[in-house]
Chain A
Amino acid sequence: MKEIAYAATAEVAEQMLSGWLILLCAFAYLGLLFAIAFYADMRSDAGRSIISNPYIYTLSIAVYCTAWTFYGSVGRAAGSGVGFLPIYLGPTLMACLWWFVLRKIVRISKVHRITSIADFIGSRYGKSALVGGVVTVIAVVGIMPYISLQLKAIAVSYNVLLTYPEIADNAATRAFYGDTALYVALALAAFTILFGTRHIDTTERHEGMVAAIAFESLIKLIAFLAVGLFVVFVLFSGPGDLFAKAADVPEVAGLFGFDAMPGSYASWLSLTFLAMMAIMFLPRQFQVLVVENVNETHIRKASWLFPLYLLLINLFVLPIAIAGLILFPQGSIDPDTFVLTLPMTGGAGSLALFAFIGGLSAATGMVIVATIAISTMVCNDLVIPFLLRMRLLHREDMSGLLLAIRRGAIIAILLLGYLYFQLIGESYALVTIGLVSFAAAAQFAPPILIGIYWKGASRAGAVAGLLGGFLVWAYTLVVPGFALSGWLPQAFLEQGLFGLSWLRPYQLLGLDLFDPITHAVFWSMLVNVGLLVGVSLFANQSAIERIQATLFVDVFRQGSQTRDSRIWESTSSVAEIREILARFIGAEQAAKAFEEFALAQGQTLKDEAQAESGLVEYAERQLAGAIGAASARVMMGTVVKGEELSIEEVMKILDETSQVLEYSRRLEQKSQELEAATGKLKAANERLKELDRLKDDFVSTVSHELRTPLTSIRAFSEILRDSPEMPTTQRQEFLDIIVKENERLTRLINEVLDLAKIESESVEWEMQSTDLREAIDEALIATQQLVAESGTELRKDMTNEAVQVNVDKDRVIQVVINLISNAVKFCDGDRGRIGVRVFPRDGMANVEVSDNGCGIALGEQERIFEKFHQVSDVQDGKPRGSGLGLPICRKIVEHHGGRIWVESELEQGSIFKFVLPLEGHA
């Protein structure tokens, strides 16, 4: 194997890559990045964002693939076969859940103007500066190994390339590592400062940076694929050839199975878990996934495109690793550099340079995003709260100070990374260093994931969990690193702290089942989750904690309108509030923000007016965008002079906003129902009153009518009783009167009962097809005697055709009898003439009963059909009828769908007419 390598290098010796050429390429590339970022920022300022699409979003997430992926995966694969894969399978699995989990986090962050992961966790636990600070410390310490990893990668790759065509091993290059790495660190710091801290923005979004890292993701993917294709198809003739050759080398063939994986399945599972958490909760992933997210619907496409990106960039990892192991003699070349050394072996110097640029992309992308994210956290969640509490902030313009703090933080972070690299870097491979950082980022998972689904998670629990998990992490992963590098005695690893064997950092409490990473993940997660849940179950939440918990957990239930949670009762003026804002984000931006608020609220803001709580809250959110939620809260708290509302009041406001609509909707419905019911009741009441009145009238009339005959019966009976010597003729006469009055009484009672029956509709009508002429003939026969006795003359005039109607025959006969007996009553004895006519016309059967009696005055003609209305006899004033006959007739006729009326003139007689619908015309 060695021969191949040296033969190849000898061939291309004249293509040697000089240091200045590599540096030129590197700086040209960084210059290009800067141009892209500058262009994207310009477009963003012009309102035409180039990053607002799911593809750029996906590529920006691919900042996950760092130098670790680019160089370290191959190194890991060379040692453990598929052992590098969980780091990329985990994010794929997590992407299945992005639509629920990530979307919720993005929504919360947009509503609350979250600027970093520390801000998110701090804000969730009552806008707590303590929680934010703890998260920041963990992030800074935890990310240190990761940044040092990138520095190491750039330095090593530069040195490897520099010695081309001689393929340098580690030992040969170690001498000038340090300097290279330091220069790399400083160059990256300068570049990041130019990139990420040009101005303070209330949204804390960096469009230029996103565009640049998306471009970097594209470059590193293409570079890696190019190297992979070169190795498989140029150095070997396809994958079949490669694997066949590998199968001949026993130690390489061992990588084909799962047995090469150290720590076996437990390690596989814990690495998958770590990667699942890291893809969401590494500070830089949180930055690109959440803070830089333009539109939450981009998550949809990203959640399958990003796993696809991961698959592509990992496709050639194993072939490259195996090819390296075949071509280079065991141990002569660090597998972490195969991506560079293989193209060099094949004589492809320019491909090696391209691979170097790809690796540079991977490393710089990570460093830029991570340092920007962390510097924001350090500034917003560590330095500013501290300065606020120390009351050291009294300068007019704060935005300059903010920028200075961030720039300082960036330099400090990179130098710390360099320091870690110098102290520890040598003792670990790239991947192991990265995993230490992953395990630190995983500490953020419990407070976030539990915090956005469980309102009970409290600030005390979060602090306890974070600190506990962090300490376990540091003890089981970081401290041993110092021991391995010789800064601490080796015995510490083997015998534990103070020689206590249960404190051995790799076998805590004697647990020796796992590899160091799995071991650390297990214990730190157990402590973290256990403390978070356990302490929360017993801790009391303050008002602001409960408010924030509710706002976070129920974020999808709140419309954007209900965000007005009015937590401050302010006594400050509008001008004062604007001044605070101006101090941090500049007067111009502050004025603009206030204008927007006024526009949105549709009101003008007067400087001297008292700032309403909505405005204070708005200002606090703007401020949160610049200095973080916790700092903004403290800041507002010192200036606003207002009272914090009590928990009851705030909860009341929250409840109101969510329930008021529901209540009013229900109330409206109820009142409508009530109105309808009231209307019905009113109508029913009117009807009842009317019936009551009718009943009263009826009763009084009936009793009057009954009393008249009763009185006369009683009077004549008493006379008869008291005068036994009365002559027989007179006695006979009186008895006749009594009988007559009795008959009248009986008739009256019958009619009353009859009418009552008809009115209550309890009569059973026996409808049948009847020839009206027959019915009238029967009526005439029934009244024959009456007519004959009165001496009246009766004439009938009936058509020859049948007049068929569908009626209750007996009732119709009753009507006709009534009308004839009325006519007889009002006719003047012998001179009386009564006529009965029946004829059909216009689909109606017409019946007329005429007389030549005294007639009815016009005003009376309608009233005679009313109950108990009697036309008084002009001569003797005595009524001649019961007053119920005609009302009964009307009821009967109307029931059959007909009509009854009278035409009459005084002294000229009257004609009673009624019509019934003919059969077939009803």
Chain B
Amino acid sequence: MSNGRNQERLIVLFLLGVLVLNYPLLHLFGTGSLWLGIPVLYLYLFICWLLIIVFLALLMEARRSGERDSLRRDRRGG
């Protein structure tokens, strides 16, 4: 996986995060109703938050293993 692509993915993740955690999408969940006994707004915010962290972890660690691969290739080549 190329470094440049992953950088683009990080920036898109950032923009997506700004989008889902703000007006107007936030407004859809701000009604104060409950779902499974828990306020929908709380659920929505914490799940979005968790998803951002998961994707961030995937991108960061995927890049690392990619780098390791290329390092290994280099070593084999050299």
Chain A: interface residue total (CB-CB under 8 A): 35
A719 at the interface (CB under 8 A from B): no
> A324 to chain B: which residues have CB within 8 Å?
none
> A93 to chain B: which residues have CB within 8 Å?
14, 17-18, 21, 52
Q: Which residue of B lies closest to A260 (CB)?
A: B32
A239 at the interface (CB under 8 A from B): yes
* Residues A304 and B60 in contact, CB atoms below 8 Å apart: yes
* Residues B14 and A257 in contact, CB atoms below 8 Å apart: no
Partner of A258, one of B18, B30, B38: B30
Q: A243-B38, A311-B49 are in contact. Are A259 and B30 (CB under 8 A)?
A: yes
> A247 to chain B: which residues have CB within 8 Å?
34
B77 at the interface (CB under 8 A from A): no
**What would be 25 A-B contacts, judged by CB atoms less than 8 Å apart?**
A89-B17, A89-B21, A92-B52, A93-B14, A96-B13, A96-B52, A99-B7, A240-B36, A240-B37, A240-B38, A243-B34, A254-B32, A256-B33, A258-B26, A258-B27, A258-B29, A258-B30, A258-B32, A258-B41, A265-B23, A272-B21, A304-B53, A304-B56, A311-B49, A311-B50
- How many whole Å from B44's CB to the nearest CB in chain A? 10
Q: A95-B56, A265-B22 are in contact. Are A257 and B31 (CB under 8 A)?
A: yes
Q: A272-B21, A272-B22 are in contact. Are A300 and B34 (CB under 8 A)?
A: no
A268 at the interface (CB under 8 A from B): yes
* Residues A100 and B27 in contact, CB atoms below 8 Å apart: no
> A258 to chain B: which residues have CB within 8 Å?
26-27, 29-32, 41
CA distance A96 to B36 in the complex (A): 31
Apart from A97-B14, A258-B26, A304-B60, 14 more pairs, CB < 8 Å: A81-B41, A82-B45, A89-B21, A93-B52, A99-B7, A99-B60, A239-B37, A257-B39, A258-B30, A268-B26, A300-B64, A304-B57, A307-B53, A311-B50
* Residues B21 and A96 in contact, CB atoms below 8 Å apart: no
Q: Which residue of A lies closest to B49 (CB)?
A: A311
> B38 to chain A: which residues have CB within 8 Å?
239-240, 243
Binary contact readout B49-68 vs A (1 if CB under 8 angstroms, 0 otherwise) = 11011001100110110000
Q: Which residue of A lies closest to B63 (CB)?
A: A300
Within 8 A of B (CB), among A98-135: 99-100
CA distance A267 to B45 in the complex (A): 17
CA distance A81 to B41 in the complex (A): 10
- How many whole Å from B69's CB to the nearest CB in chain A? 16
- How many whole Å from B67's CB to the nearest CB in chain A? 10
- How many whole Å from A510's CB to the nearest CB in chain B? 24
* Residues A315 and B60 in contact, CB atoms below 8 Å apart: no
Q: Which residue of B lies closest to A241 (CB)?
A: B37
Chain B: interface residue total (CB-CB under 8 A): 36
- How many whole Å from B43's CB to the nearest CB in chain A? 11
* Residues A89 and B49 in contact, CB atoms below 8 Å apart: yes
> B11 to chain A: which residues have CB within 8 Å?
96-97
CA distance A85 to B49 in the complex (A): 10
CA distance A253 to B40 in the complex (A): 12
A804 at the interface (CB under 8 A from B): no
> A81 to chain B: which residues have CB within 8 Å?
41
CA distance A535 to B27 in the complex (A): 40
- How many whole Å from B25's CB to the nearest CB in chain A? 11
* Residues A92 and B31 in contact, CB atoms below 8 Å apart: no
* Residues B42 and A82 in contact, CB atoms below 8 Å apart: yes
CA distance A548 to B30 in the complex (A): 48
CA distance A82 to B38 in the complex (A): 13
Partner of A99, one of B10, B18, B32, B33: B10
**What is the predominant secondary structure among interface residues of chain A facing chain B?**
helix
CA distance A93 to B17 in the complex (A): 6
Within 8 A of A (CB), among B1-28: 7, 10-11, 13-14, 17-18, 21-23, 26-27
CA distance A447 to B12 in the complex (A): 25
- How many whole Å from A448's CB to the nearest CB in chain B? 18
CA distance A247 to B49 in the complex (A): 25
Partner of A311, one of B23, B39, B46: B46
* Residues A268 and B56 in contact, CB atoms below 8 Å apart: no
Q: Which residue of B lies closest to A100 (CB)?
A: B7
Q: Which residue of B lies closest to A297 (CB)?
A: B64
CA distance A301 to B61 in the complex (A): 8
Q: A97-B10, A258-B26 are in contact. Are A92 and B17 (CB under 8 A)?
A: yes
CA distance A96 to B12 in the complex (A): 9
> B36 to chain A: which residues have CB within 8 Å?
240
* Residues A307 and B52 in contact, CB atoms below 8 Å apart: yes
Q: A82-B45, A311-B46, A311-B50 are in contact. Are A243 and B39 (CB under 8 A)?
A: yes
* Residues B56 and A303 in contact, CB atoms below 8 Å apart: yes
Partner of A268, one of B17, B23, B53: B23
CA distance A574 to B32 in the complex (A): 73
- How many whole Å from B11's CB to the nearest CB in chain A? 7
* Residues A96 and B64 in contact, CB atoms below 8 Å apart: no
- How many whole Å from B1's CB to the nearest CB in chain A? 14
> A85 to chain B: which residues have CB within 8 Å?
45
Binary contact readout A248-277 vs B (1 if CB under 8 angstroms, 0 otherwise) = 000001101111000001001100100000
CA distance A303 to B58 in the complex (A): 11
CA distance A347 to B23 in the complex (A): 42
> B45 to chain A: which residues have CB within 8 Å?
82, 85, 89
> B42 to chain A: which residues have CB within 8 Å?
82, 256, 318
> B17 to chain A: which residues have CB within 8 Å?
89, 92-93, 96
- How many whole Å from A416's CB to the nearest CB in chain B? 36
CA distance A318 to B45 in the complex (A): 12
A308 at the interface (CB under 8 A from B): yes
> A265 to chain B: which residues have CB within 8 Å?
22-23, 26-27
Q: Which residue of B lies closest to A99 (CB)?
A: B10
CA distance A819 to B65 in the complex (A): 83
CA distance A92 to B26 in the complex (A): 17
- How many whole Å from B16's CB to the nearest CB in chain A? 9
> A272 to chain B: which residues have CB within 8 Å?
18, 21-22
Q: Which residue of B lies closest to A89 (CB)?
A: B21
A244 at the interface (CB under 8 A from B): yes
CA distance A156 to B45 in the complex (A): 31
> B14 to chain A: which residues have CB within 8 Å?
93, 96-97
* Residues A307 and B34 in contact, CB atoms below 8 Å apart: no
Q: Which residue of A lies closest to B23 (CB)?
A: A265
- How many whole Å from A450's CB to the nearest CB in chain B? 18
Q: A256-B41, A258-B27 are in contact. Are A96 and B56 (CB under 8 A)?
A: yes
> B13 to chain A: which residues have CB within 8 Å?
96
> A99 to chain B: which residues have CB within 8 Å?
7, 10, 60
Q: A272-B21, A272-B22 are in contact. Are A259 and B64 (CB under 8 A)?
A: no
Q: Which residue of A lies closest to B37 (CB)?
A: A240
> A315 to chain B: which residues have CB within 8 Å?
46
> A89 to chain B: which residues have CB within 8 Å?
17, 21, 45, 49
CA distance A256 to B33 in the complex (A): 7
CA distance A82 to B22 in the complex (A): 12
> B22 to chain A: which residues have CB within 8 Å?
265, 268-269, 272
CA distance A89 to B38 in the complex (A): 20
CA distance A239 to B39 in the complex (A): 10
> A307 to chain B: which residues have CB within 8 Å?
49, 52-53, 56
- How many whole Å from B62's CB to the nearest CB in chain A? 11
CA distance A82 to B40 in the complex (A): 12
* Residues A256 and B37 in contact, CB atoms below 8 Å apart: no
Partner of A301, one of B7, B41, B60: B60
- How many whole Å from B36's CB to the nearest CB in chain A? 8
CA distance A92 to B45 in the complex (A): 12
* Residues A259 and B53 in contact, CB atoms below 8 Å apart: no
Which of A96, A257, A268 is most buried by chain B, counting CB atoms within 10 A of its CB?
Answer: A96
- How many whole Å from A363's CB to the nearest CB in chain B? 25
- How many whole Å from B37's CB to the nearest CB in chain A? 4
CA distance A315 to B50 in the complex (A): 11
CA distance A240 to B22 in the complex (A): 27
Q: Which residue of A lies closest to B52 (CB)?
A: A92
- How many whole Å from A307's CB to the nearest CB in chain B? 5
CA distance A97 to B7 in the complex (A): 9
* Residues B57 and A256 in contact, CB atoms below 8 Å apart: no
> A269 to chain B: which residues have CB within 8 Å?
22-23
